[in-house]
Amino acid sequence: MSRFPLRRQDKTMELAEAEALLARMPTVTLRSVGSVGDSYDNALAETINGLFKTKVIRRRGPWRNLEAVEFDTLERVDCLNNRRLLEPTGNMPPAEAEARYYAARAHREDDPMPDHVAANLPARDLDETAAFYAWLGFGVEYRSADWMVLRRDALELEFFLHPDLEPASSWHNASVWVADLDALHRAWAAGELPPEGAPRLTEPAYLPSGYRMFALVDPNGSLLRCLQLRSPAR
């Protein structure tokens, strides 16, 4: 509070001056940034919105159309989930931290984890992609003009249409965790995919972490890292 509070006549004068100033301003309609429940009423969501505008919208514009923004947003989300190293997760991408968490849980006999995969991958052509994965035992669970979901038992893959995708430079990837890595590899090896190029299928091998893994690269250039939930002793 000021040491010298305004007198009533001074307050009246200030109010009159403010009203006179507003009278000279053009009429505008003011509204809240959002209603209760909107992202704008959430401090964390506001931070994410601001980061998105700074890192993507302003830095990588101007934009041709809304579709270009959507594709770049998907790439940004994939980068944040699969490539960006975060200190709270031990300087590893969130997707890898999540995979390690579930792998650790799988070692507990009282809490077994089933086969699982979390993937949102691009497809230059949905028909071509569906045909390729059909050889691997995947069936179409859902299909629209620009979205497709494929399923093979407990494994589910989602694909979004990306006709401008360059397979040779694609960095999209996903981790597939299964209880029987050799059985999955035998099933997919029946398609006689080559060990190089795209598509390709590699042989199972041990990682420095002790887990066994083989890799599948689909016609879109997406990498599927297939890992065994419980790696046997070497």
Condensed to tens digits (0 to 9), the pLDDT of residues 27-81 reads 544 444 455 555 555 666 667 777 777 877 887 778 888 888 888 887 877 787 7
- State which residues form the domain around 164: 53-228
Whether 32 is in a domain gets the answer no
Instruction: Say if residues 167 and 220 touch (Cβ distance below 8 Å).
Output: yes
pLDDT at 16: 67
Lowest mean pLDDT among 31-35, 76-80, 87-91, 224-228: 31-35
210 CB burial (10 A radius; 0-12, 13-18, 19+): exposed
For 11, the token pair is 């307050």
How many structural domains is the chain composed of?
Answer: 1
pLDDT at 25: 56
Mean pLDDT of the chain: 77
pLDDT (tens digit per residue) in 123-179: 999 999 999 999 999 999 999 999 999 999 888 999 999 999 998 888 888 889 888
CATH of the domain at 71: 3.10.180.10
Helix 66-82 to helix 94-106 angle, to the nearest 10 degrees? 50
Cα–Cα distance measured from residue 211 to residue 186, given in angstroms and rounded to the nearest whole number: 18
Whether 31 is in a domain gets the answer no
Whether 8 is in a domain gets the answer no
Whether 47 is in a domain gets the answer no
pLDDT at 2: 43
Whether 81 is in a domain gets the answer yes
Q: Which helix (H) or strand (E) holds 174?
A: strand 173-178
Please state, for a pLDDT cut of 90, what percent of the chain lies above it: 29
- State mean pLDDT over 102-124: 68
Lowest mean pLDDT among 105-119, 142-156, 197-211: 105-119
Confidence of residue 193 (pLDDT cuts 50, 70, 90): confident
Whether 175 is in a domain gets the answer yes
Whether 136 is in a domain gets the answer yes
pLDDT at 229 over 80: no
Whether 64 is in a domain gets the answer yes
